[in-house]
A and B are shown apart, each in its own frame.
Chain A
């Protein structure tokens, strides 16, 4: 009893000891915070990876893929049995996407994935990551009228509305260009006629007529009024005639000036030009593109493909393929879109078979895909499975991989092993779980967490030495009290337990307050980060780096418990030596101590 009474009294009267547990407090708080943030990151990342990768993936490494996938699927159903919750077939190919933007062609390396619209949603969270609300409900490869990314300010106008505007503008541009060229031609003919009449030769006439259709004459045009040439240069890249004049308007709209994309093509082509002359100068290095102008003009007309009402096959691009994230002058995080739903892109991918050819196919971007896993967002592009099979010249029975979704609680590794037994590697088939595929990344995060934990526990251990020193001081200070207690018949172990109990109380106090502080911090971590930002002017959590808008956290109660127990243990261990010293003290000498 006296032990607890004295422990308590010492705790109440020796504030210096409380100072020594501040370091324990800080250590525990840091551990709780770091673990919560790391767990939050890991959980968020795992959830995203898992959502995209499904549970078990069966991939074929053969160029032809898995022939007759129906047989394989039947076999899988048989092997996996009850635990199967969803199954879908997929064609993966490496590909390249070419995006026309302001007269330049941007190429990106992508992973083209043909998905089965009906079953893909059963297996992955794919639709959740699309921007259009309707697509989120149900995957579709049809361009929507508008209403993309309603919760994303600054997302440019997209969809059919935009496409029609753009097509109309292009058409008008083309008409202007045509009119201009016709006038040029007329002039030339006139000149030729004048020359011909001057020379009186008919062969000169035919030569002039030949040169009208040829690019050489077209490239002679530039000396004519410059802004006209701008339009001509932009127009031919089907889809992007408008991108140039409209872009400045959007950059402005980011700054709050919500200038609607110039509705009429005439204003779109003329008005922004004055405002954007510097940019225009840069994006206009060569007069060359007008060469294609005539060519595409011809081919488009030949195809009777009207971009105002028609779309190519739909493609869903990872958002980082078509955009880039940067920080504007005011320090705000802004996305800049090279392409948007409603634009067309050119995708190049290998055909099936043993000697693949490159296949160029035009797709219309129908949506963006944003999983916030930069690796996926920067490389994944989705198209309908049947179209991809058709374009690649694959049989409609052939797929490159099969993705499985298992019921909750199913043992992924067991299922994988059963499937591996059924599909050995000799068949050029690889069975893996999503964890296997992301193993190195997960392991790296795990290792980071472990190392951080060790380092932070060392901090608490250092705090333990602080406690040790403080306790030694207290024991020395209390020498006389120890003598008195012994003269009253207290045993050595009883005296020792006063100091052990003291250490326990201090440790529990420090760890408890530390854990509480850590939890409060974690609960308000984003507010704290914002506050730190305003105070220091330094970005604490940079969304351009992490792809998270806010800092994800996840508090695992067991982790907190372990941290607290560890800290208390260290505090108790630090008080063992002083307690032993107190226990060994000779009563007579202790009483005599002054």
Chain B
């Protein structure tokens, strides 16, 4: 799977300190042969309160994503797929059920551990890119490293981080856009920056929320191609939320979601 011809070597990714993994209370994955589920949600319930009304979104949802594979979560608007993605990314906590990453429960971790998990183990991209408008593409990519390392740590490893960010931007084909602000970039370029940012900390898992939802077909295809490349060449596990059947078909596995439950098709 790993192509050695690409500029990003696995060795490079290992250069990023691993201590975060331990700090997050997680053990490094043990390599078990039959493609284990790196991310798993079991019987998850989640409801939101809107004007005193309890609105159930997820009702006993089960989900598993195999390591090194791409998994699509397919469903209609309002089926709860984005909520599920948020729960998988620990941005929110389920009312019931459990979510495991690498065999470790992550939904009930303390907040700082979850922050660290998001920072180190997880990359997220969104439909609306969610780049900070005030800073350049390059700085946006560096942001997770800044959050991770703190002031002095960042200054100490600055060159390493910058090099990594630059490599990633090169990887997504934006070397010529390093110092542009997000508003000076096109939608596709912004999404590429978002991907670079998601990968800068060297996560194993990428969560994508309608990554092409806001792009024209052609640009969207190129983004999907990029994600495929990353999956193939670097073994990145990708979980992608989409409502587009054709996109879902490109993935290794598809999970259908309707009315807050996973359904077999």
Write out, one digit per residue, whether chain A residues 555-594 have a CB within 8 A of any chain B CB (1) or not (0).
0000000000000000000000000000000111001000
For chain A, residues 65 to 93, give those with C-beta under 8 angstroms from any C-beta of chain B.
none
Q: How far is the CB of B125 from chain A (nearest CB, A)?
A: 10
A9 within 8 A of B: yes
Q: A492-B111, A588-B91, A591-B130 are in contact. Are A1 and B149 (CB under 8 A)?
A: yes
**Chain B residues touching A, majority SS:** helix
Residues of chain B contacted by A492 (CB below 8 angstroms): 111
A119 within 8 A of B: no
Contact partner, A4, options B130, B131, B151, Cβ 8 Å:
B151
A480 within 8 A of B: yes
Complex CA–CA separation, A489 to B89 (angstroms): 10
For chain B, residues 126 to 168, give those with C-beta under 8 angstroms from any C-beta of chain A.
126, 130-135, 139, 143-144, 146-151, 154-155
A2 within 8 A of B: yes
B170 within 8 A of A: no
Residues of chain B contacted by A1 (CB below 8 angstroms): 146, 149-151, 154-155
Complex CA–CA separation, A385 to B114 (angstroms): 91
Complex CA–CA separation, A586 to B120 (angstroms): 20
Contact yes or no, B146 A13, CB < 8 A: no
Q: A494-B147, A587-B91 are in contact. Are A487 and B132 (CB under 8 A)?
A: no
Contact partner, B115, options A3, A10, A480, A489, Cβ 8 Å:
A489
Contact yes or no, B134 A10, CB < 8 A: yes
Residues of chain B contacted by A591 (CB below 8 angstroms): 91, 126, 130
Contact yes or no, B118 A489, CB < 8 A: yes
Contact yes or no, A488 B151, CB < 8 A: no
Contact yes or no, A5 B135, CB < 8 A: yes
Write out, one digit per residue, whether chain A residues 1-41 have a CB within 8 A of any chain B CB (1) or not (0).
11111100110010000000000000000000000000000
Number of residues of chain A lying within 8 A (CB) of chain B: 26
Minimum CB distance partner of A13 in chain B: B134
A117 within 8 A of B: no
Q: Which of A9, A484, A591 has the most CB of B within 10 A?
A: A484
A486 within 8 A of B: yes
**Chain A residues touching B, majority SS:** helix
Q: A9-B135, A491-B111 are in contact. Are A2 and B146 (CB under 8 A)?
A: yes
Residues of chain A contacted by B149 (CB below 8 angstroms): 1
Contact partner, A2, options B120, B143, B197, Cβ 8 Å:
B143
Contact yes or no, A487 B134, CB < 8 A: no
Category for how many chain B residues contact A: 20 to 34
Complex CA–CA separation, A452 to B118 (angstroms): 53
Contact partner, B118, options A6, A481, A488, A586, Cβ 8 Å:
A488
Q: How far is the CB of A487 from chain B (nearest CB, A)?
A: 6
A297 within 8 A of B: no
Q: How far is the CB of A493 from chain B (nearest CB, A)?
A: 9
Write out, one digit per residue, whether chain B residues 84-120 have a CB within 8 A of any chain A CB (1) or not (0).
0010010110000000000000000001100111111
Minimum CB distance partner of A14 in chain B: B134
Contact yes or no, A588 B92, CB < 8 A: yes
Residues of chain B contacted by A459 (CB below 8 angstroms): none
Contact yes or no, B135 A489, CB < 8 A: no
Q: A1-B155, A587-B91, A588-B92 are in contact. Are A488 and B134 (CB under 8 A)?
A: no
B74 within 8 A of A: no
Minimum CB distance partner of A12 in chain B: B134
Write out, one digit per residue, whether chain A residues 472-497 have a CB within 8 A of any chain B CB (1) or not (0).
00000000110111111111101000
Residues of chain A contacted by B86 (CB below 8 angstroms): 588
Residues of chain B contacted by A10 (CB below 8 angstroms): 134
B38 within 8 A of A: no
Residues of chain B contacted by A2 (CB below 8 angstroms): 143, 146-147
Contact yes or no, A6 B115, CB < 8 A: no
Q: How far is the CB of A93 from chain B (nearest CB, A)?
A: 75
Complex CA–CA separation, A276 to B130 (angstroms): 92
Contact yes or no, B139 A488, CB < 8 A: no
Contact partner, A5, options B130, B139, B155, B197, Cβ 8 Å:
B139
Contact partner, A487, options B89, B120, B150, Cβ 8 Å:
B89
Contact partner, A6, options B135, B151, B154, Cβ 8 Å:
B135
B223 within 8 A of A: no
Residues of chain A contacted by B147 (CB below 8 angstroms): 2, 485, 488-490, 494
Q: A1-B146, A6-B135 are in contact. Are A480 and B151 (CB under 8 A)?
A: no
Knowing that A1-B154, A485-B143, A489-B119 touch, tell me 6 more A-B residue pairs with CB under 8 angstroms: A2-B147, A484-B132, A488-B124, A488-B147, A491-B112, A588-B92
A residues in contact (CB < 8 Å) with B = 1-6, 9-10, 13, 480-481, 483-492, 494, 586-588, 591
14 A-B Cβ contacts within 8 A?
A1-B151, A1-B155, A2-B147, A5-B146, A6-B132, A6-B134, A480-B130, A484-B132, A485-B147, A489-B117, A489-B148, A490-B119, A588-B86, A591-B91
